[in-house]
Structure 1
Amino acid sequence: MELHWRAVGEDEPGPKWAGLFAEYWPDYQRWWLQEGEAARPTYWQGRQALTTHMPEIVPLYDRLCELAGGTDLASRFLSFHCPPPYMSACSQAIWPGKEPVLVRNYDYDAKAFDSLVLRTGWQGRNVIGTSDGLWGLVDGMNDAGLAVSLTFGGRRVVGDGFGVPLILRYVLQTCETAEEAGAVLARVPTHMSYNVTVLDAQRHYLTAMMAPDRPASITHAAVATNHQEKVEWSSHARFTATVERERFLLQRLTLHVEPEEKFIGAFLKPPLYSSAFDQGFGTLFTAVYRPRLGEMELRWPKAKWAMRLDDFRDDTRVIYTPEAAGARLPG
């Protein structure tokens, strides 16, 4: 399987972003309407929710809606308010070395993935990360040295809130420390359960276990997979091996000290790496963030792509994934 990746930078929302939206919108529109138009909030409901919970980025939202053509459906989609349910099966951890590193695997359906790194200077804040929905992010960092990453929380509950990629964008646009990020993650409502791990330039970190039906739990966990305090969706947990992956990472962090490169390399092999591409849970990439240095890397078993926040260049890559095995590789 081929993954065609792009890295695109634009200081202010403009023609590059508008071109990306025009390209991706037909597929996103079908996804957004999969349960029918009436199942999605109105434009006014989405904008009011943004105004209530994330007011600092409302001017940015308005500008993106304009660039997207100003249509009702596109503007409703861009609010990320109460989107259709979706889930992934990811692993993330913080390696506590001299330069702390946030490492994550993103296990998801390649046919529903942007394959896009965005570097933006929106509202005066430089941000780089892996795109979802063309302004949301599944992981990223900003010029204050703050890095964030998400995993699905392993619960079926769906509620009234935002798609978590937009919440990550909001964190990176408005926060500089893990403490500030934790406060945002505790108050902004999410439509499904997610674990968000945060690392800042002062080496402080946290993991927020967010849910639509209960208060967020802000923890000092350095590892997150696809459950929260306990497994609540047993079939999903078994299929994704969430408990086994969590134990594997905790053992690597607590039982012995290993070099950074060896720790990162573990994400490219079982049990963390998944080849379940034909079931929508293959590992599409491993991301490595060194927020104090402003460095981001994407890795695959046979490729590496390094980028810098302060020296970014538009680029493309074609990545060849291993043959799908139909299930998570045995550990």
Structure 2
Amino acid sequence: MLWRALSEDLPGPIWAGLFAEYWPSYRKWWLGEGDSARPKYLAGRRAIAEHMPEMVPLYDNLCDLAGGGDQAARFLSFYCPPPYLSGCSQAIWPGKEPVLVRNYDYNPNAFDCLLLKTNWQGRGVIGTSDGLWGLVDGMNDAGLAISLTFGGRRVVGTGFGVPLILRYVLQTCTTAEEAGVVLARVPTHMSYNVTVLDANRNYLTAMMAPDRPAVITHAAVATNHQENVEWISHARFTATVERERFLLQRLTLHRDPEDKFIGAFLRPPLYSTAFNYGFGTLYTAVYRPRLGEMDVRWPGTTWTQSFDQFHAGGRNVQIPGAA
């Protein structure tokens, strides 16, 4: 897999070039159920204006950079996108310098393989891209880190794709408490668990769903179910309960030191090679939001980035089974 790290303070030619490169594939995915299955442009823009009003100028700017086309603008709204599933495990290691650690388990053929450092609207953000302005994990220059896991439910409703919600949190929030308020009110189209950690060592996990109110918890661990397992076959296949128990043991019974705790994400049962089924581990991310530092890790390889020293460029990574 070829990973890239790109930095552009304001949306401009770098982002426009990325959109031109990725759009043919995203367009095919966006229209996979037919054009009529996706909301119209005005519906998406109105939803952003209602639920994320601070993002409207940025959204309009990105639509212009994408060429101003109707389908591109509808895609960029992330409003009621096609359903998609991921695996993932995430946890807060609550040491002297707390860290947010996560595995992202997904189909390698449907992944941006892209780290973006931006200063959009005056807020510094580094994160792993999804949809070219959404994020599956990231941190901001106020010391807030965030990541997501799929919530293990089949229900699809009216709301936003969760990567845009993560972007919105990092653009507008500075504390876990502020993030919890946003995560409780912004509608999501599927169920997700979103964990946040701030510079004051406060953290929470929001269990979001399209058909019921979000549940804000003090959970330090999230895998692929919420309060109860509802999709039994998915839970068995992804071993969500077993992974949750394993992480809770690492945090409570064994009290692993930081390096050992992070290293556990690169081995079973957290590390997955189920790429044939779309749930292999593509990377492990380690966020130290108080320091403004993050690592992307693979077995035998670490790529370190930070706000002070962000290294734009590429990295070829060999992941067995992910060809």
TM-score of Structure 1 vs Structure 2, range by shorter chain: over 0.9
Deviation at 1:323, TM superposition (A): 3.3
Deviation at 1:103, TM superposition (A): 0.1
User: Please, which of 165, 184, 187 is the counterpart of residue 186 of structure 1?
Assistant: 184
SS at match of 1:322: coil
Runs of at least 4 residues off by over 6 Å: none
TM-score by length of 2: 0.99
User: Please, which of 32, 35, 59 is the counterpart of residue 33 of structure 2?
Assistant: 35
Q: How do residues 38-57 of structure 1 correspond to structure 2 at under 5 angstroms?
A: 38-57=36-55
Structure-2 separation of matches of 1:272 and 1:172: 26
Query: Given the alignment of the two structures, is residue 100 of structure 1 paired with residue 70 of structure 2, yes or no?
Result: no
Match of 1:75 in 2: 73
Deviation at 1:311, TM superposition (A): 2.0
Deviation at 1:294, TM superposition (A): 0.3
1:160-179 C-alpha deviation (Å, 9 max, x unpaired): 00000000000000000000
1:264-312 C-alpha deviation (Å, 9 max, x unpaired): 0000000000001121110000000000000010000121100012221
Query: Given the alignment of the two structures, is residue 218 of structure 1 paired with residue 216 of structure 2, yes or no?
Result: yes
User: Please, which of 57, 60, 63 is the counterpart of residue 58 of structure 2?
Assistant: 60
Deviation at 1:102, TM superposition (A): 0.1
Match of 1:242 in 2: 240
Match of 1:319 in 2: 317
Amino acid at match of 2:236: R
SS at match of 2:182: helix
Deviation at 1:322, TM superposition (A): 1.7
Amino acid at match of 2:8: E
Amino acid at match of 2:24: P
Match of 1:327 in 2: none
Q: Is there any run of 5+ residues in structure 2 with no aligned partner, and where?
A: none
Computed over aligned residues only, the root mean square deviation of the Cα atoms, in angstroms, reads 0.9
Query: Given the alignment of the two structures, is residue 231 of structure 1 paired with residue 229 of structure 2, yes or no?
Result: yes
Amino acid at match of 1:163: G
1:117-142 C-alpha deviation (Å, 9 max, x unpaired): 00000000000000000000000000
Q: Is there any run of 5+ residues in structure 1 with no aligned partner, and where?
A: 325-331
SS at match of 2:181: helix
Match of 2:164 in 1: 166
1:3-41 C-alpha deviation (Å, 9 max, x unpaired): 110000000000000000000000000000000000000
Deviation at 1:44, TM superposition (A): 0.2
User: Please, which of 7, 12, 18 is the counterpart of residue 5 of structure 2?
Assistant: 7
SS at match of 2:63: helix
Structure-2 separation of matches of 1:189 and 1:174: 16
Deviation at 1:116, TM superposition (A): 0.2
Structure-1 separation of matches of 2:47 and 2:84: 20
Query: Given the alignment of the two structures, is residue 131 of structure 1 paired with residue 151 of structure 2, yes or no?
Result: no
Structure-1 separation of matches of 2:148 and 2:289: 16
Deviation at 1:313, TM superposition (A): 2.5
TM-score by length of 1: 0.97
Q: How do residues 160-309 of structure 1 correspond to structure 2 at under 5 angstroms?
A: 160-309=158-307
